[in-house]
Amino acid sequence: MNLVDTSGWIEYFFGGPNAWFYAVPVEATNDLIVPVICLFEVFKKVNLVADEARALQAVAHMNQGTVVDLTENIALSAALLSIRHKLPMADSLILATARAHGAFVWTQDSHFEDLPEVKFIKAGISEIN
């Protein structure tokens, strides 16, 4: 299973230099989970940068994966992860969701860089052919 962090979704939707990195998990929708916190963050960011119509298109694309609601277990696990790894709230919720579903987190967010279940790429790195 795969979970694309908000930074990855934004990179993919706006064709950033790392969009290629996220294409595989984003397009493999049968193996994709999407935490509701990512829906919130992507919808907000795309609205700010583009407009609501484009934000709704982004959310529709994200909904092709399996949307995972925030549960009590995920919330409590996220709190512990936040303390243990000094993660912000959204990042801890994303990581807790991934762990609850045995998923890898695909990201360019440096908060996740050294965690074992993370596929990390530095922001702004171009694909090497």
Q: Within a domain: residue 18?
A: yes
Whole-prediction pTM = 0.93
Query: How does 90-110 read in b/e, with b if 16+ C-beta sit within 10 Å?
Result: bbbbbbbbbbbeebbbbbbbe
CB atoms within 10 A of CB 28: 12
Q: Within a domain: residue 57?
A: yes
Range of the domain at 97: 2-120
**CATH of residue 68:** 3.40.50.1010
Q: How many domains does the chain have?
A: 1
Cα torsion angle, 125, 114, 85, 29, sign: positive
Q: Within a domain: residue 129?
A: no
pLDDT in tens, 80-128: 999 999 999 999 999 999 999 999 999 999 999 999 999 999 998 655 4
Q: Please name which of 10, 8, 21 lies closest in space to residue 127, comparing C-alpha atoms.
A: 21
pLDDT at 124: 81
Q: Within a domain: residue 127?
A: no
pLDDT at 46: 98
